[in-house]
Amino acid sequence: MDTTLQDPSPAFGRGDPIVGQLLDGRYRVDARIAVGGMATVYRAMDTRLDRVLALKVMHPALATDASFVERFIREAKSVARLAHPNVVAVFDQGAQGAYVYLAMEYVAGCTLRDVLRERGALQPRAALDILEPVLAALGAAHLAGFVHRDMKPENVLIGDDGRVKVADFGLVRAVGAVTNTTGTVLGTVSYLAPEQIEHGTADTRVDVYACGVVLYEMLTGTKPHTGDSPAQVIYQHLNEDVPPPSATVPGLAAGLDALVASATARNPELRPFDAVALLADTRAAHAGLTDAQLDAVPPQALPGAGAGDRTGGEDRTSVIPRVLPPGQGTAHHTSRLEMPPPEPPRQERRGPLRRGPGRGMLAAVVAVLLVLGVGAGVWYINSGQFTRVPSLLGQTERTARQRLSDAGLELKRVKHAYSDEVERGKVVGSDPKSGARIRGNGSVTITVSRGPEIVKVPDLRGVALAAARQTLKERGLVAGMVTREFSEEFARGDVIRTDPEAGTGRHPDSAVALVVSKGSPVDVPDVTGLSVQDATDALDGEGLKVEVLPGRVSSPEAEGDIARQSPGQGAQVAEGDTVTLTVSKGPRMIDVPDVTGKDVDEATRLLKAAGFEVKVDRPFLSFSDEIADQSVDGGDRAPEGSTITIKTKGL
């Protein structure tokens, strides 16, 4: 729905029967903000929470249509699940009589359409600063399983505080849901992806396509496809690539052209998968531009001739007949084969670079030529000469770029396509083709092979890990998670198996998990109590490495012997693994408690609590439990862990 959440003029909404009413006993409707084809938006006051909000009220004539009401409710539930700072929040949903409404966050400001209508083309920095939060909002929706399906400047709100928010999730659908069975599609014709028009399908990539169109519009001040009728625009969506923005605004960075081309690829398989991926590409493109490229000032449009000047049917969310393949749909549907191409759109786009040079422009050119002298004039004349596109087939992308540069030609765009004949990363075609005549300052699009559409996982058993990774890369696959396990069959560091297994078909760039051998298992011997040298020799003999930790610890072992080891005795490790050793500084000397006169049980308890082992000595025919003597007198010191002998009284 085309709406603008901004302060209305005093007269706007006068005579509207809902203005001044208290809707549902809670929402006081103060003013009408905007009207769309399916709903009207009002500024209202939530009298319970005392806050200003926007009420989106479905037109009463549509409230009887269950499908439209279901859309309204779906929008409320979908947006409520997002809770993203760049999404216009929905607070409540309800109905009163013929009025079905959503209570939404009120954004004081304007829409991106208002900005484009007022200013025309934007500087690249401003365009990217608007696009990134839009993609963040859509990325959250895509990760939550939703597709917006109606992205356009009218649904991008820019608050007075500079915040950017995405509005109107009225056409939202779950990813993978059936989106059309009747031969029609809901949407805005200027931003519909080709697959929406032709097949009625809508996944995350239709939002990516629409965002690419919006970026083009922000950079140039015009839409990429225009015409006197929706049919002309639809025809262009299906049959023509979105042109590079620099064709309309010369001087724009090549990175911006590439970003638009990637997002608006007619083949959805060649677009970023979702808004999250496009956001990453956008941030990378943003980071790759210089300040001069980001702040390039676009040519000013004629007054009133900005992108928002066309307010025809292609800017409205509407029900659009799909272009159906022959034999599908009902008799009144027009098949694609039967639909003649519409008359080419008249070249009357108003906006940047659409007017003649004028006296001022001619004077500027003459002045520059006079300053630069004859050389500049010669360059200008020679730039019209022709050259031939060099041979590019089978070359790497890097070599193709260099050959075009050497020929004085510009690389316009790099596309990617599957190929069973040309190996991955090599050029499979160009436009114009190799050998074609082209102006010396012209540009060429190359298509680089992605390899076969289905790649078989190679047999990597027994291959070293580094070589296995390289093999996967050459086949167009990616080495995934690496796990390790013991193996008697495969040498340490070699691949045992892959997941998926060898011979399985996968799409290019799919990940393949690798299980790598740790070699045969080695049982760790017990070296505690041995000297450092003896312990090292024993571990070396098992093919293990030794690390002796600095410092020593008290232990029952003699000073200089091994006090403890890690891993311990009996643990299984791989050949070449490291065992750490800690050296003893001898036992700790502690006070011996005096237990004479106590019974055996209490004496034993006291000595063990102090850290000693206990041995009881009973004289022959002695029946007493009273301790008469102990091997170390009470109060003396003895090594911790040593044995104290206690002797009971005799006859």
Name every residue whose Cβ is closer than 8 Å to that of residue 618 and which is 6 or more positions away in sequence.
647, 648
Distance of CA 29 to the CA centre of its chain: 41
Q: What tokens appear for 67 in the block?
A: 């499908």
Three-class SS of residue 581?
strand
Closest alpha carbon to 432 in 450, 413, 405: 413
Confirm whether 150 is a catalytic residue.
Answer: yes
Q: Left (φ > 0), alpha (ψ -120 to 50) or beta: where does 56 sit?
A: beta
545 beta partners: 578
Composition of the chain by helix, strand, coil, percent to 5: 30, 25, 45
- Contact 385/425 with Cβ under 8 angstroms? no
Q: What tokens appear for 422 in the block?
A: 């040309």
Q: What tokens appear for 627 in the block?
A: 């301790």
478 beta partners: 511
Q: Which helix (H) or strand (E) holds 644?
A: strand 643-648
H helix runs in 36-111, sequence order: 66-82
User: Counting beta carbons within 10 angstroms of the beta carbon of residue 370, is it exposed (0 to 12), middle (13 to 18) or buried (19 or more)?
Assistant: exposed
The type of residue at 275 is: A
Closest alpha carbon to 139 in 103, 175, 176: 175
The span from the CA of 84 to the CA of 300, in Å, is 35
Q: Given the residues 150, 168, 315, 494, select the one marked as catalytic.
A: 150
DSSP string, 521-570: EEEPPP-TTSBHHHHHHHHHTTT-EEEEEEEEE--SSPTTBEEEEES-TT
Catalytic amino acids? 150
